[in-house]
Structure 1
Amino acid sequence: MGNEKVMLIGSGTSPFVFRVEWALKLKGVEYEYVEENLLINKSPLLLKYNPVHKKIPVLVHAGKSISESLVILEYIEETWKQNPILPEDPFERAMARFWAKFVDEKFMEALKQALFLEGEQQEKEVKKAIEAIEILEGELQGKEKFFGGETIGFMDIVLGCVPAWLEVVEEVAGIKLFDSQKFPSFNKWMENFVETPIIKEKLPSRDKLVFYLQKIRQIKLASLTAK
């Protein structure tokens, strides 16, 4: 079989890396974790295994590398069949992928831009992020604990960074995105997710997140001013 070793190149501040770690832990897959410092030059290891995008996360399995978190999640699901994260039903699987794409394109992107911008442009992105939360709130209504029911699945993993990152983004960017009374289903989902033991033991350090996002915001705002 050769070398079946699993390695994850990531960062303790990346929401996309945590997706992969949670999926591996839910599947019971042993892996080596290699920390990439995003504030300094990209390491030779990262450039070797992801020469195209030069970004994290990168999963290396049996010497072969896979990048982009959603692609990695699909690979993990297909490679390790235990504890499935995608539903069996083809329609439900398609819906999980649809909502995952929605989270990245409509919610995470708006969240990122709200962090990097100021003034009217920032307000516009905040509005987009709140609209995305409203849509997700509607999707969660009537659900048991998670998007797929009683157990954590694909969509929960994709959205799972939000409970930790949302509050920090609000603090660092000086904005208000989330109202627990306005979005009770979403709030309950966040509580259920972070209280799940396997997730609880692998959550980001709040102090590290604040420090990193402050740095990144300063760099981005300085680059916009310089233009």
Structure 2
Amino acid sequence: MSSPAAVKVIGAFDSPFSHRAEAALRLKGVPYELILEDLRNKSELLLTHNPVHKKVPVLLHGDRPAICESLVIVEYVDEAFQGPLLMPADTLARAAARFWASFMDKECGESMWMALWTDGEAQAAAARETKTNLTLIEGQLPVGKRFFGGDAIGYLDIALGWIAHWMRVFVEISGARLLTEEEHPVLCRWAREYTADETVRQCLPDRDRVIAALTPRKELYISIAKAMAAQR
């Protein structure tokens, strides 16, 4: 296992993907320095260490090559440092966790974005698809357990963490209704458990501050969603 010395995260305060990297480090008990990035005016540090996607988060660990992409970072942190395991110990369970994390970011993420920011039939169709996908994800919660990781927060909880915090922000800005107690009570209960966790709370950005930061981008989000809908 590696030393936690000289661990840095290049991130953005309102990014759910940066949160993944921070949550993994905190849950493993690894001290780190957070370098906040202005994504509208990207620094040379970010562009040097993530020249491919030019996005946050980026993990810097001593003099090793930079590690990019949030879920890759979570797995690296789990393997590189001592502390509670984030990935399941069972091989099949690890594969399943990776599958559902990918499903969330790709299939569910796309439909959810269109459900939030389009209108008319496109919005209605995307909302139906999103709710179906959320039901599938809800079904992965182990019966009688607080988290997808069981009794403690694990890899899949971190991967889905933006549902718990950022979805509520986006819903408030957009006015869409996607995750409700009536339709997904178990997932809503999990969301409360996740955001109430003492360790996770330390790297969750203030909700009102996130709303203030993201609201001016609403028109941009709408244009992106419409472009996505047109490609379907």
Q: Which amino acid aligns with 1:81?
A: Q
Kept in 2, the 8 Å contact 1:2–1:62? The answer is: no
Partner of 2:174: 173
Q: Which amino acid aligns with 1:33?
A: L
How far, CA to CA, are the matches of 1:163 and 1:223 in structure 2?
23
Superposed CA offset, 1:81-125 (max 9, x none): 321101111111111111111111122333333344333333332
Q: Which amino acid aligns with 1:107?
A: C
Match of 1:139, SS state, is coil
Q: Which moved more, 1:165-174 or 1:211-220?
A: 211-220
Query: Unmatched 5+ residue regions in structure 2?
Result: 227-232
Structure 1 residue 168: deviation in Å?
A: 1.4
Partner of 2:128: 127
Partner of 1:199: 200
How far, CA to CA, are the matches of 1:146 and 1:224 in structure 2?
31
How far, CA to CA, are the matches of 1:223 and 1:183 in structure 2?
27
In percent, how many aligned pairs have the same letter? 38
Kept in 1, the 8 Å contact 2:142–2:150? The answer is: no
How far, CA to CA, are the matches of 1:54 and 1:119 in structure 2?
34
Superposed CA offset, 1:46-103 (max 9, x none): 1011011101111111232111111111111111132110111111111111111111
After superposition, the CA RMSD in angstroms is 2.4
Q: State whether structure 2 residue 156 is matched by structure 1 residue 161.
A: no
Scaled by the length of structure 2, what TM-score is found?
A: 0.88
How far, CA to CA, are the matches of 1:169 and 1:27 in structure 2?
29
Partner of 2:69: 68
Superposed CA offset, 1:121-140 (max 9, x none): 33332222211111122222
Mapping 1:76-225, distance limit 5 Å: 76-140=77-141, 142-221=143-222
Structure 1 residue 158: deviation in Å?
A: 0.6
Q: Which moved more, 1:136-145 or 1:114-123?
A: 114-123
Partner of 2:230: none
Runs of 4+ in structure 1 deviating by more than 6 angstroms, as ranges, are none
Q: Give the total of aligned pairs.
A: 225
Q: Which amino acid aligns with 1:94?
A: A
